[in-house]
Amino acid sequence: MTDTLNLSSLVRLSVTDPEKGASAVIALNPPIAARWMLLAIVVALGTVMAYLLPLMSGAEEGLPTPITAAMLQGAMNLAAVALVSGVGRMFGGQGTFEDALLLVGWLQVIMLGLQAVQLVVLMILPPFASLVMVASVALFFWLLSGFICALHGFKSRLSVLLATLGTLFIAAFVFSLILIMLGFEMPGMQDV
């Protein structure tokens, strides 16, 4: 029971003050194997959640196979870990890959909770599901910028947010090119 209360307190702290929440998560200092397991679990659960929304709305046609979806989600999470640690260090940060791995996993735990809320809202009050999605995107950037500040010791969340948006734009462009070179088609490209 205490672990559940600690987990909910940690989620609350992370949402209300991402820098303090991230520092508390880092202070837990789990072994590296636990950090990798956390990432594997959130990728698996994220894949399940990614299938539930389209299945519930009847838009399951065109979904990739679950293995492909899990591999893509795993690759994107690993890219996020590498970018959070690597780009942060390029700008003078002190964070490690291991702590970035932990924080990206923790961020995904919180986002999975929001996806669950979105599923419930979609079933009960469908018109409000898009509001939950917008709130999720805003919360994602709020958490990510705070986590990066805590990881690397940065002081300006606005600078971190702008650098993050620029990095995400460049990374999405590069990732799209790689997927196209590997033979994956972007949605809607076959109609062009």
Q: What is the pLDDT of residues 142-177, one digit of tens each?
A: 999 999 999 999 999 999 999 999 998 998 898 888
pLDDT band of 1, cuts 50, 70, 90: very low
**Does residue 125 lie in a domain region?**
yes
pLDDT: which is higher, 175 or 40:
40
pLDDT band of 63, cuts 50, 70, 90: confident
**Does residue 191 lie in a domain region?**
no
pLDDT band of 49, cuts 50, 70, 90: confident
**Does residue 152 lie in a domain region?**
yes
Number of domains in the chain: 1
Q: Average model confidence (pLDDT) for the chain?
A: 88
Separation between Cα atoms, residue 45 and residue 17, nearest integer Å: 25
CA distances from 150 to 66, 100, 130 (A): 34, 10, 30
Separation between Cα atoms, residue 161 and residue 58, nearest integer Å: 35
- Supply the pLDDT for residue 57: 66
Separation between Cα atoms, residue 101 and residue 79, nearest integer Å: 10
**Does residue 192 lie in a domain region?**
no
pLDDT band of 79, cuts 50, 70, 90: very high
**Does residue 127 lie in a domain region?**
yes
Is residue 138 a contact partner of residue 114, using CB atoms and an 8 Å limit?
A: no
| pLDDT(2) > 50 | no
pLDDT cut 70: percent of the chain above it: 91
The two structure tokens encoding residue 21: 């929440």
- Supply the pLDDT for residue 172: 86
**Does residue 190 lie in a domain region?**
no
Q: Classify residue 182 by its DSSP letter.
A: T
Q: Domain containing 50: what range?
A: 2-185
Phi and psi at 169, nearest 5°, equal -60, -50
pLDDT: which is higher, 132 or 145:
145
CA distances from 39 to 101, 106, 143, 177 (A): 7, 8, 17, 25
Is residue 85 a contact partner of residue 95, using CB atoms and an 8 Å limit?
A: yes
**Does residue 131 lie in a domain region?**
yes
**Does residue 99 lie in a domain region?**
yes
Separation between Cα atoms, residue 168 and residue 163, nearest integer Å: 9
Question: What DSSP string describes 96-116?
Answer: -HHHHHHHHHHHHHHHHHHHH
Residues 89-103 pLDDT 10s: 999 999 999 999 999
